[in-house]
Amino acid sequence: MTDAYILGIESSCDETSAAVVRSGEQVISNVVLSQFATHKPYGGVVPELASREHLRNIVPVVRAALEQAGKSYDSVDAVAVTQGPGLAGALLVGLSFAKAVCFAVDKPLIAVNHLEGHIHAVLLEERQKGNHRLEFPVLALVVSGGHTHLFLAETRDNGWTYRNVGHTRDDAAGEAFDKVAKLLGLGYPGGPIIDRLSAFGDPKAVKFGSAQLKHRDRRDSGKAPDEMPHFDFSYSGIKTAVLRYVEVNQMHAEIEARRKQLVQIAKPAIDDYKRLCDLRTLDLVASFQRAVVHDLVAKTLTAAAEFQVATLLVTGGVAANGELRTTFEREGSQAGLTVHFPSRPLSTDNAAMIAAAAYPKYVAGDFAAMDISAEAGMVLR
């Protein structure tokens, strides 16, 4: 099989991205345009604004990715695009653009599930490092702003299939980071800010019980009705616990003051955040992160033991978190498991992962029809 150069396009949330990847194993270009500045004043992603920004940016971002790769629309072999899950309007921009390119230059269209993309970000980089052997069973934790999902991944006849063996019952882990940062007046997106600030607080200062990490009407890890072991997550309770801590300790005035000061600073540095947080807030932030990280690691390693997995992949925006990485590395190695992460730039949303996930579909001739639509709630199987 000769090399295939796939143009990937990603527009499911608040990043417009395009990339060229060779044969699922080498990133030739990967352009990511964040809409951070657009959504920052609102403290979260505004779907209508996201669609508008994608529309504005899709052409220059794709052009830049092709230019950096020394490719043209004509010289790539296929166009891969995120079909879902994500914001419907945002997805539509990428999908419509990809269809138009395929129609104009007669290239195959490949539809990719965003979560599959996150999983292939790790596989792409492993291959890029020269590691082509993958030991099965493979368990993947996809932990992002919209998802906290565990998948058993299998490959057959050049195609991948996935079995969901766990998911969040309410807030995703990244969503909890973002909501807690917002309620503490730290701004958006919360994950990277909490990650950096946690180093200055005591992670044992505020006790979050395991009850706060359980969903009210569910079993703990156990067997689902179909007798398939299931490992679910829940991060809405801990967010409420942080809110209660803020109320009990009457922290509202200082939070409001911090929020007002931070919006005055165009690009706050870690010292700005630190200066505007007292020790109690730093302790709260560090304790929150510790609780979420420990829950993610403990449940994932329990699932890994249950399925006797040989390889563990941890991916998605929250996989950029420093404490999550070191805890997984330490506890994974104690359990005899090697844990693979994407590099930080490939942990968060990007189009290289979409082009990489598309490669096995390209080899299998698994192309999409031109009348497919965006699927906001697309399920990975």
Selected range binding Zn ion among 49-57, 64-72, 138-146, 148-156, rule: CB under 5 A: 138-146
Binding of ligand KG4 by 348 (CB under 6 A): yes
Q: Which of residues 179-218 bind Zn ion (CB under 5 A)?
A: none
DSSP 350: -
Cβ(10)–Cβ(94) below 8 Å? yes
Size of the site for Zn ion (CB under 5 A): 2
Using CB under 6 A, pick the residue from 144, 168, 234, 236 that binds ligand KG4: 144
CA distance 194 to 15: 21
CA–CA separation, 66 and 102 (whole Å): 15
Binder among 144, 212, 287, 350 for Zn ion (CB under 5 A): 144
Give the largest CA-CA distance in the chain.
Answer: 65
15 touches Zn ion by CB under 5 A: no
Among the listed residues 89, 316, 342, 360, the single contact to ligand KG4 using CB under 6 A: 316
What is the strand order of the sheet 148-156 is part of? Answer: 159-167, 148-156, 138-143, 311-315, 338-340
Q: Which does 332 bind (CB under 5 to 8 A by kind): ligand KG4, Zn ion, none?
A: none
Q: Could you give the CA distance from residue 380 to residue 161 in angstroms, rounded to a whole number?
A: 8
Helices (H) and strands (E) in the chain, counts: 13, 12
Nearer to Zn ion, 32 or 76 (CB): 32
- Show Cβ contacts of residue 323 under 8 Å, excluding neighbours closer than 6 positions: 195, 198, 289, 290, 293
Q: Does residue 349 belong to the site contacting Zn ion (CB under 5 A)?
A: yes
Does position 174 interact with ligand KG4 (CB under 6 A)? The reply is yes
CB 298 within 8 A of CB 325: no
Closer residue to Zn ion (CB): 57 or 144: 144
**Alpha-carbon distance values, 64 to 16, 31, 94, 181, 357 (Å):** 12, 7, 15, 33, 21
- Window 26-65: contact mask with Zn ion (x via CB under 5 A): ----------------------------------------
Helix, strand or coil, per DSSP, at residue 365: coil
Out of 121, 141, 318, 346, the only residue in the binding site for ligand KG4 (CB under 6 A) is 318
Nearer to ligand KG4, 66 or 296 (CB): 296
Letter for the amino acid at 381? R
Residues that bind ligand KG4 (CB under 6 A): 13, 144-146, 174-175, 177-178, 189-192, 195, 316-318, 320-321, 348-349
Residues that bind Zn ion (CB under 5 A): 144, 349
